[in-house]
Structure 1
Amino acid sequence: MSLGHQLKLRTQWWLILVAASVMVVVLTMDHTMLRLDNAVYDRLLQLGAASPGQSVLLVEIDDESIARIGRWPWNRAIHAALIDRIKAGQPRAIAYDVLFTEPGDPVTDAALGASIAAAGPIFLPMLPPMPTPAGAAAAPVLPIEPVREAATGIGYATIDPDPDGVVRSAQVGAGPGGQAQHLMALTARAALGQQDHPSSMPVGARLIPFGAAGRHWSEVSAAAVLAGQVPPELLRDRVVLVGATATGLGSRYPTPTGRVMSGLEIEANLLQALMGHSLIRPASLPARLALGLLPLVVLMIGLGPWRRAPALVVFLVCAATVIAVTALCLLASGLWLWLPPGAALAGLAVAYPLWGWRQLAVIEQFMRAQLLRLEQEPSLLPRVSLRGSAKRGVAGTIALLHAAIARNREMRHFAADRLDQLPDATVVADLAGRIVLANAAAHRLFAGFGLAIEPGATRAQDLLAAVRLVGSGNPVPFPLYADEPATHEVQRDQAHFYLVGIAPQTQADGQRAGWIMRLVDISEAKAAQRQRDDVVQLLTHDMRSPQASILAVLETASPDRIAPVEASAIRHYAERTLRLADGFVQLARAEYLEYTLEEVDLGDMLIDAIDDLWPQSHAKRIEIVTHGDEQMLVLGERSLLTRALVNVIGNAIKYSPDGTRITCTLTREVRADGITWGLCAIADQGCGMDADLRSRMFERFARGPVGLGPKTSGAGLGLSFVHTVMVRHHGVIGCETEPGQGTTFTLALPIKG
């Protein structure tokens, strides 16, 4: 991706992080996510363990009690008797959740007050203040005086459901009176022996830990207590909670446990939590902000431009961490802290798709720009141009991508077809050496070796193991550690030889991408080389030796044994055979010898050639003159270049009349490519050549001229040798001639430096 796109992506990353953080802060401070928070709270609370409330006993004014004792409201003497029965069981404290706010019969009111006074720690409810039309503060409605003065304490017993109607919390702190507390808080403090330490109870709203499906309480009917049917042991050392649960009397509320509970059961859960110090505290604002912002920052770092993990995994891990921290704080013993996860989950849910969308948008822009550049590049294959309307938007990008894929597929097909058309075995390997492409010739070649090429599975090392380097027998080195191509001569057996060429592939940015390997069958060439070597051996030794023996016999034989005419003929043919063999050997050396190049002076070699031919030129009274004695250094094989000059000058002597002149001129010439050449021009005054002979003068066994000059003998290999030597020295030989006008041969070689 380009630097501009990367900068744009990072800028948008910061913008999304800041915007999502602001959203999380706002959602944390208001109640927008309350419904989600409540749903999570209810579900987690149901996962908690349900424990029986052994320290609390419910005395219910239930339908059975109404049926046995009579219609509600009961006479206060019945309440006094019920309190006396409970007191006889020696409970730790009594919470009598029945309102006595209106005066009745003074005698029964006094009797009730006496029973309450004798009951020990007993707590009664009061009504909260009713709002006035003018909005002025009102006082709470307290129990009647005899009851109020006899009670240990008076508190609120109201139950306030949440906006969705579910009871989750209770206000246990100070009420409008400044000192008034919840009835259950007063009862719990008395049961724990903390009447004089009101600060030991929590202040403010607290969540009630209902547990899974609520606790299972010990319950008895008020009628059974009045009838003496409840043993005192059941009441001893328990906190007794008395309240109405009969149909039409007691209120019922939905709870987070998933079931509806009576008000008395809800108060029992609150009382048990107060006694066990297990009320759930709402987390502070800093803690809620930390829960919302930290996972968001982690998510954005994980999703950012430098991410290394899959985006979905990072999102799920962050969301699971939020839920896990919330569950741990809520359910772990001793913590009992409620951290609402709604704002944190909302931040994650917004940031994840938003960042994904922006990433895709930037990537789409980058990919579109690259695809348009690719579309504008010249193609080796014909293609259909996209319409202008098809190049807009995501649909246009998809169309460009489809065209690029099709183009790549066609190029691969084109490359594979062209590779198959190559006559030599060619394979393409990746950096690891695995074969990616192989042409038909490669499949045929290695099938003959018993190896099957499977692209993507076969390795180049396995294929090269089928051959060995000629001479050493070592394996072919692979891969290459240099950037230059390498060529090796290898053999499969004594009859099959190959040239292996290995070249590195590079990408457009210069990075190495793999290897191209080609195997050329040179078995026939090697066989021809062996035959040529045999012929050269034959000519250099096997043919020359008998001819030399013939000449030796002619030299040593008595004149009377061989007639002079026959001896002359035999000598002529033997010498001609030797010249033919020598010319052929020299030509073979010129064509196939590995040259040892050195700096040599062209003028020195010319003088050496003239000196070697002095007997022939002197015999025909031919003068050889030279012009230009400036030193001209060339790179060459001295013996072969000298031999080439000997052949040219020798031909000039051979085809020139007696008493003529041969001129050898050395000059320099700077050509259009800036290279300086050394020229040696050898001009004679002989018979010249016609156009037909000039066109084939460098062919083997070309003889001439015929009919224009003196009759000469030769093998016809001299100029072929000269031409071969010049070509292998990267030089040029030229000829200017006309019949009867003489001939000029010019030998040109590049001057070193």
Structure 2
Amino acid sequence: MRRRFLFEWLLMALLLPLAMLWLGERPGLVEADRAVYDELMRGDRRAAPSPDLVIVGIDERSIAALGPWPWSRTLHAQLLEQLAPHAPRSVLFNVFFDTPGPPEDDARLAAAMAGLPVYLPMDLAPLPATASVPGLAPPRPGFATPVPALARAAHGLGHVNATADSDDRVRTLYRYEGTETRLAPYVGLLIASGAQDAAPAQPDFARDAAWTRLSRFGFRLAGPAGSYRTVSYIDVLLGSVPPATFAGKTLLVGAVADSRLNDQLAVMGAGAKAAGLPGVEVHANAIDVLMQGRAIEFPSGTQRWLWLALPIWAALAAFMLSARYAAVSALALALLMAGLGAVALREARVALPIATPLAGIAAAYLLWSWRRLAALLHFFRQRVDALNAVPSGAFEPVVAPAPPAIDAIEQRTRALDRAIDRLVTLQSMLRQSVALMPAAVLICRDDGQIGQSNAAAQALLMQASPNGGRLREQRTGDATDPLAGRALFALLAALPRTDVGAAAGAAPSPLPGVWHDAMTGEYATPAGDVFRLHAVPLGTDGSRTAPHWIVVLHALTAERRAQREREELFAFFSHDLRAPQVSILSLLALHADGDPATDTPALRHGVAQAVQRTLAMADGFMTMMEAESNAYRLAAVPLGAVAMDAMDAVWADAQRRGVVLKPPLSDEAGCVMADGALLARALRNLLDNAIRHSASGSEIHVCLAALPDAAGRPGELLLSIRDEGEGMDAERLSRAREAGHRRTRSATVPGWGIGLAVVNTVITRHGGWVEVSSRPGAGTTFLIGLPQCADESDAEEA
């Protein structure tokens, strides 16, 4: 397409100037250029008429005195005889002498002309019939010269043809007119130069033309009729004009306005056509500008073509360089050409066509815009067809029935609408698909900036920032996506990382090391979630756009938790359960060696203790497994009754150690939805720990209370177990709380590991919470909160 566009641009640059050169000579642009020329001439300052030009007017008074026109040539001879003593520079008779008169009159006029430089005009008339072939072609135009006697006596002969334009107004004259046989100069050109004859250096005759006009020139009028000094013909004959009026002057003899000889020419700038200028005054203005070198020239040929071509080429170049400002460039060029044309006419006296180059600039803009628009529409058609050809599977939108398209534009518009609908549908489906994926998914740019994320990814990465709660206010992307616009690598850098090596099958990154390093680590969030990043580049199939990445955050939390549980279970079996068995084997070995400290009673006692420890740990481990299972049998049970069951289970051990259990005052505080047996076993673990850490004679207080919510409805049931044992300092209290969240027994907190882990797991699974407080020497208090529900009778009625 680029090659085609350049070819069309060059074609316009070549043909458009030629077309404008041709159109500039045709109706329409000719009139437009003429109107601009007239407007500029009206606003131009007028030149003062030269005092070196004097008109000898054939006026009404002279006709009344000398008789009706035409006059005898003897009168013209007397006029020249009267002027000869005053030595005028030259005399022009704007009177045709092409018909013979009385021989004596012609002879006297020729004799009078011998004493002065007299110029005679040639009349435009058809050639005699002998110059053409009768019956085959019409007579060709030509010039009728004065009678031979006068022609020989004249200082120079020239044409005075003032051809009007299509609006019947005279604006210009031609320095040369005629045919190849006779190319006559303008008589004013001879007068201005003082020559007897003149010819162009290299005349360029129009091919197959009957008439040729060369070297067109224009003139500014010195003023309306009567602007030049005029003396009456009869006054000159009578000798009543001062001699200084004629000395060294150019005299023009012709009919003036009041002669009524129908020698009026409608001249541009002289007013209405009926109020034109006499022919002698038109020639006076033309001769004046020729003598003073103020003639207005009209370029032709190469100069005219360059004047029309250069603005078109400049416009096309501007359009090519800056398509965005094409209209501004065209307007600026048009103003520039208009200004140059006005300056050239006013200052350099060169009449350049202005409307034609402006039309050329406008035509260049229209053609260029049309071709650009056509190319753009062609490109749109190809891209729309390509978009509609993309398979969308189940996401293909339903095409609504529509009447047949009336033209290609409507057809392409519908195709574009369908392509847009398909793109919108596909984009919407893509966003929804990403949003609904259970795995954490991101779509990122090549530099790691997040463009889209789903809820699972937001739940993981919003923990990666210290101000994660304010991410929504700091985002720069999608208003509905708190991660849009964020930098993925900056979020990952805020998380603890464990390097585990390259992910299997990871795609190489075009950014050296960045994506590769990100995929060789595991990240942990403050909430304990663990994930690993896997990214695949998109748009690497030759697309010109930078690749994007689809990033999956593989959740490893369950795997790592299971791994820790396996490790703890292995430690439990390899250490905790093995230790009592080793003790039994040691006692048996000592007893077999005859050690007196291991007599039969001591052996039985030691073996019994070891077995009891093994059973207790196995029972605790099984209880933990049951607590973490989902096989809870929930029912509405009174929390007070559950607490009493737990106290009954440890009553004997408390009595043996001398510890007094203080039961709750009432077991009617309220019910909880719970697995009664498992909840009682968890409370028994707390009571066992309290009894084990209490001195003989101390008390363990079990209290139960109901806490309604703000509306007075059932809220929470609070159960506290407080002992009077040795208590714990801050360090031991912290380790005890940590043990409550450990799955198995902790070696650093003897006796607290599984018991507190079971309590925390059971209470949490029931929707409750556990808090512990203690001080050295002041005992320890466990506070449990469980959501209250309706009692058993209410549950049965429901």
Q: TM-score, normalised by structure 1?
A: 0.54
SS of 2:287's equivalent in the other structure is helix
The 5-angstrom pairing of residues 369-388 of structure 1 reads 369-370=385-386, 373-374=389-390, 378-384=393-399
Greater Cα shift, 120-129 or 142-151: 142-151
The 5-angstrom pairing of residues 582-601 of structure 1 reads none
The 5-angstrom pairing of residues 123-202 of structure 1 reads 123-131=119-127, 134=134, 135=138, 140-143=143-146, 151-163=154-166, 165-173=168-176, 175=178, 178=182, 180-190=184-194, 194-195=195-196
1:252 aligns with 2:265: yes
1:215 Cα shift? 5.4
Counterpart Cα distance in 1 of 2:281 and 2:270: 12
- Superposed CA deviations along residues 157-196 of structure 1, whole A, max 9, x for unmatched, are 1212245545455343364673742211211221xxx557
Partner of 1:631: none
Counterpart Cα distance in 2 of 1:235 and 1:425: 112
In structure 2, relative to structure 1, the CA distance for the partners of 1:582 and 1:410 (3 Å cut) is closer
Partner of 1:560: 597
Within the candidate set 283, 301, 313, 2:300 is matched to: 283
SS of 2:162's equivalent in the other structure is coil
Structure 1 unpaired stretches of 5+: 1-5, 584-699, 702-753
- Superposed CA deviations along residues 474-499 of structure 1, whole A, max 9, x for unmatched, are 9xxx9955797854655787988776
SS of 1:449's equivalent in the other structure is helix
1:449 aligns with 2:471: yes
SS of 1:185's equivalent in the other structure is helix
1:40 aligns with 2:33: yes
In structure 2, relative to structure 1, the CA distance for the partners of 1:202 and 1:244 (3 Å cut) is farther
Within the candidate set 222, 225, 248, 2:230 is matched to: 222
SS of 1:129's equivalent in the other structure is strand
Partner of 1:400: 415
Greater Cα shift, 414-423 or 221-230: 221-230
In structure 2, relative to structure 1, the CA distance for the partners of 1:44 and 1:145 (3 Å cut) is closer
- Superposed CA deviations along residues 321-375 of structure 1, whole A, max 9, x for unmatched, are 996899599758497787976997798589657746864675476356435524x
Partner of 1:515: 548
1:66 aligns with 2:60: yes
Structure 2 unpaired stretches of 5+: 205-211, 463-467, 500-508, 623-742, 745-798
Counterpart Cα distance in 2 of 1:230 and 1:507: 104
Aligned residues, how many? 566
Counterpart Cα distance in 2 of 1:529 and 1:257: 111
In structure 2, relative to structure 1, the CA distance for the partners of 1:494 and 1:279 (3 Å cut) is same
Amino acid at match of 1:52: A
1:36 Cα shift? 1.8
8 Å CA contact 2:446–2:548 kept in 1: the answer is yes
Partner of 1:617: none
Counterpart Cα distance in 2 of 1:258 and 1:312: 42
1:246 Cα shift? 0.9
Counterpart Cα distance in 1 of 2:363 and 2:477: 49
8 Å CA contact 1:113–1:146 kept in 2: the answer is yes
SS of 1:283's equivalent in the other structure is coil
Counterpart Cα distance in 1 of 2:45 and 2:396: 76
In structure 2, relative to structure 1, the CA distance for the partners of 1:94 and 1:20 (3 Å cut) is same
- Superposed CA deviations along residues 57-76 of structure 1, whole A, max 9, x for unmatched, are 6545789x536985874867
8 Å CA contact 2:538–2:548 kept in 1: the answer is yes
SS of 2:395's equivalent in the other structure is coil
SS of 1:271's equivalent in the other structure is helix
Partner of 2:663: none
8 Å CA contact 2:192–2:287 kept in 1: the answer is yes
SS of 1:161's equivalent in the other structure is coil
Counterpart Cα distance in 2 of 1:229 and 1:551: 171
8 Å CA contact 1:96–1:241 kept in 2: the answer is yes
The 5-angstrom pairing of residues 489-504 of structure 1 reads 489=522, 502-504=535-537
Counterpart Cα distance in 1 of 2:452 and 2:406: 34
1:417 aligns with 2:432: yes
The 5-angstrom pairing of residues 23-38 of structure 1 reads 33-37=26-30
SS of 1:402's equivalent in the other structure is helix
Counterpart Cα distance in 2 of 1:456 and 1:83: 103
Amino acid at match of 2:159: Y
8 Å CA contact 1:169–1:206 kept in 2: the answer is no
Partner of 1:613: none
1:468 aligns with 2:493: yes
SS of 1:127's equivalent in the other structure is strand
1:567 Cα shift? 2.5
Amino acid at match of 2:257: A
SS of 1:418's equivalent in the other structure is helix
8 Å CA contact 1:426–1:517 kept in 2: the answer is yes
How many percent identity over aligned positions? 19
Counterpart Cα distance in 1 of 2:202 and 2:323: 48
1:52 Cα shift? 1.9
1:399 Cα shift? 1.8
Partner of 1:97: 94
RMSD: 6.5
Counterpart Cα distance in 2 of 1:268 and 1:108: 28
Partner of 2:47: 52
Counterpart Cα distance in 2 of 1:102 and 1:182: 21
Structure possessing the higher relative contact order (Cα contacts under 8 Å, 6 or more residues apart): 1
SS of 1:123's equivalent in the other structure is strand
8 Å CA contact 2:175–2:216 kept in 1: the answer is no
In structure 2, relative to structure 1, the CA distance for the partners of 1:299 and 1:201 (3 Å cut) is closer
In structure 2, relative to structure 1, the CA distance for the partners of 1:390 and 1:351 (3 Å cut) is closer
Partner of 1:506: 539
SS of 2:190's equivalent in the other structure is helix
Counterpart Cα distance in 2 of 1:221 and 1:327: 34
8 Å CA contact 1:431–1:513 kept in 2: the answer is yes
1:410 Cα shift? 2.2
Counterpart Cα distance in 1 of 2:53 and 2:444: 85
SS of 2:257's equivalent in the other structure is coil
- Superposed CA deviations along residues 700-741 of structure 1, whole A, max 9, x for unmatched, are 99xxxxxxxxxxxxxxxxxxxxxxxxxxxxxxxxxxxxxxxx
Amino acid at match of 1:449: L
8 Å CA contact 2:62–2:232 kept in 1: the answer is no
Counterpart Cα distance in 1 of 2:454 and 2:440: 7
- Superposed CA deviations along residues 83-128 of structure 1, whole A, max 9, x for unmatched, are 789888876544342345568899998887677555x444232323
- Superposed CA deviations along residues 404-426 of structure 1, whole A, max 9, x for unmatched, are 11121222233333344356775
8 Å CA contact 2:57–2:230 kept in 1: the answer is yes
- Superposed CA deviations along residues 575-613 of structure 1, whole A, max 9, x for unmatched, are 889999999xxxxxxxxxxxxxxxxxxxxxxxxxxxxxx
SS of 2:538's equivalent in the other structure is strand
8 Å CA contact 2:580–2:611 kept in 1: the answer is no
The 5-angstrom pairing of residues 585-734 of structure 1 reads none
1:210 aligns with 2:210: no
8 Å CA contact 1:91–1:239 kept in 2: the answer is yes
Counterpart Cα distance in 2 of 1:539 and 1:141: 140
Counterpart Cα distance in 2 of 1:429 and 1:84: 109
Amino acid at match of 1:160: T
In structure 2, relative to structure 1, the CA distance for the partners of 1:372 and 1:426 (3 Å cut) is closer
